[in-house]
Amino acid sequence: MALNDDIMAKFYITTPIYYVNDKPHIGHAYTTIAADVLARYHRLIGDEVLFLTGTDEHGSKIAESAKKAEMTPQEFCDQTSAKFSLAWDELDISNDDFIRTTEQRHITGVKNILNKLKESGAIYEGEYKGLYCVGCERFLTEKELIDGKCPIHKTEPQQISEKNYFFNLKKFLPRLEKMIDQNEIKILPDNRRKEVLGLFKQGMDDFSVSRESVKWGIPLPFDENQVAYVWVDALSNYLTALDYSEGSEKLKKFWPADLHLMAKDILKFHALYWPAMLMALGEELPKTIFAHGFFMIDGEKMSKSLGNFIDPHDLVAEFGSDAVRYLLLSQFPFGVDGDVKLGNFAIQYNSDLANGIGNLTSRVLAMVEKYFNGVVPAEDGGLSGEVGDIWSDYQKAMAEFRVDLAIEAIRKLISIADGYVDVNKPWELAKSDQEKLAKVIYNLLEVLRHLALMLYPVMPECSQKILSALGKSDFTSLTIEELKKWGGLVAGSSVAKSEQLFPRLVKAE
């Protein structure tokens, strides 16, 4: 084990920081749960993990919302940011850090970044032209306009220009294109990588790193009349959480990020702007950027007006945290667009969780109790080959960030165990062949142990319950090689009765 400790890898994983103009919804939950599954998996295999999430709190939209709510921008941010923290607590999200862009450590870090960019020559002064709404006190995008007018003030915005600082993106594009093309920075899934490479062909303009007309933001250290552009502010969080400065131990230990996870709508910022900024800073680039797809809810687009903006809190109240995690991630392949069949959740809960994992666990533990007074009766290797194969599928899926396939492997293990019960009929062996019965029960118990370990990233609560029934709840001191070796349960040790893991939902029947 000492050997493994020495070569322990680090794994730095991030979600985007979520904009506090929005309350947490199922879309945020989807990304964050997936990140949590991967973070927990990497802890299971012994990596030193830093899992970062947080909230993005600057910009004129926030200031407007605060004004409407009759609060100061900071009060408004405090309130909404707390809703995200609470949602993640309810979903058992195991983030190691939660960064807010209004925190002093972030502000300090952003100023360090901007100074360094300026010194490197990547930032220059220029003029920004845009459509400005006086009522909103900000630039509007063409997309926001309705019939050429501000949707809030119903007035035509003015074409004005202001002084801005720009980032010399063009300078970094050729090198970045090459690095993406050669997978030195991996963009996944592959169709997203191709999309990004397509952007280089279209050509791209330099982007503003500051705004003059916005007040709620981080002032530039070299020009106090300007605040950092929201994307520069937000992207920097991945470094500021590591106390970005010369000599930061955290930075040395965890940078570069191993995985930036997000939905595909913000891929461009992460795959182009961010790596280019990092190049200018002289920092290493993130190893992988994974953009998952969009989803519909029961075949309909999610939107506030349709009223299907689902609050994760309501789902947790109905199904429990473990089940929500499982049900959301098992809907469609991770990475592509899909449909979340919320209307089927109760049915799937009963079939996969109540009848699947729950039933298998309670059946096996009840048989140990009934036939062997709750004592592990023998040792045998009857299912070791099958379990080893499942581990391979499972670990391959996790290594490729395919949490849906990891869940698929878990399902397969459950069906192997169910099939093994059906074929061996322990209740008949109990009358005819005690020796074989003991082996059959051992194999099933050992499968439960492996199952619980594989479940740990996805459904931590149920995993812990199974492991504690088996007397194996403390597994953190063991390496993954030790954990996945067949035979972790020892004959003669005690096994507890199981509580009901997933009570059946009557509503679905």
Would you name the residues annotated as active-site residues? 25, 28, 133, 136, 150, 153, 301, 304
- For position 133 contacting Zn ion by CB under 5 A, the verdict is yes
Please report where in the chains the tokens 């007006």 appear, as a residue. Answer: 305
- For position 445 contacting Zn ion by CB under 5 A, the verdict is no
Taking CB under 5 A as the binding criterion, the range among 41-49, 133-141, 216-224, 314-322 that sits at the site for Zn ion is: 133-141
Closest by Cα among 365, 304, 315 to 340? 315
- For position 151 contacting Zn ion by CB under 5 A, the verdict is no
- For position 135 contacting Zn ion by CB under 5 A, the verdict is yes
Please report where in the chains the tokens 């996870």 appear, as a residue. Answer: 261
- For position 153 contacting Zn ion by CB under 5 A, the verdict is yes
Taking CB under 5 A as the binding criterion, the range among 28-36, 127-135, 265-273, 363-371 that sits at the site for Zn ion is: 127-135
Give the shortest CB-154-to-Zn ion separation in angstroms: 8
Give the shortest CB-97-to-Zn ion separation in angstroms: 36
Closest by Cα among 70, 142, 84, 110 to 236? 110
Give the shortest CB-137-to-Zn ion separation in angstroms: 8
Cβ proximity to Zn ion: between 212 and 223 the closer is 212
Give the shortest CB-68-to-Zn ion separation in angstroms: 13
Give the shortest CB-153-to-Zn ion separation in angstroms: 4
Pair type for strands 259-263 and 207-208:
unpaired
**Structure tokens, 227:** 């605040």
Give the shortest CB-159-to-Zn ion separation in angstroms: 15
Taking CB under 5 A as the binding criterion, the range among 92-100, 151-159, 166-174, 331-339 that sits at the site for Zn ion is: 151-159
The Cβ of residue 106 has, within 10 Å, a number of other Cβ atoms equal to 26
Judged by CB under 5 A, the residue of 8, 152, 160, 366 near Zn ion is 152
Cβ proximity to Zn ion: between 135 and 174 the closer is 135
Cβ proximity to Zn ion: between 140 and 196 the closer is 140
Three-state DSSP state, 391 = helix
- For position 150 contacting Zn ion by CB under 5 A, the verdict is yes
Cβ proximity to Zn ion: between 153 and 301 the closer is 153
Burial class (CB in 10 A: 0-12, 13-18, 19+), 6: exposed
Show Cβ contacts of residue 118 under 8 Å, excluding neighbours closer than 6 positions: 165, 222
Taking CB under 5 A as the binding criterion, the range among 49-57, 65-73, 95-103, 150-158 that sits at the site for Zn ion is: 150-158
CA–CA distance from 77 to each of 16, 21, 26, 461 (Å)? 17, 8, 20, 31
Question: Could you tell me how far CA 214 lies from the centroid of its own chain?
Answer: 31
Q: Are 60 and 137 in contact (CB under 8 A)?
A: yes
Strand order in the sheet with 207-208: 138-140, 123-133, 158-167, 207-208
Q: Kindly determine how many residues on this chain lie close enough to bind Zn ion according to the rule CB under 5 A.
A: 6
User: Which positions lie near Zn ion, rule CB under 5 A?
Assistant: 133, 135-136, 150, 152-153
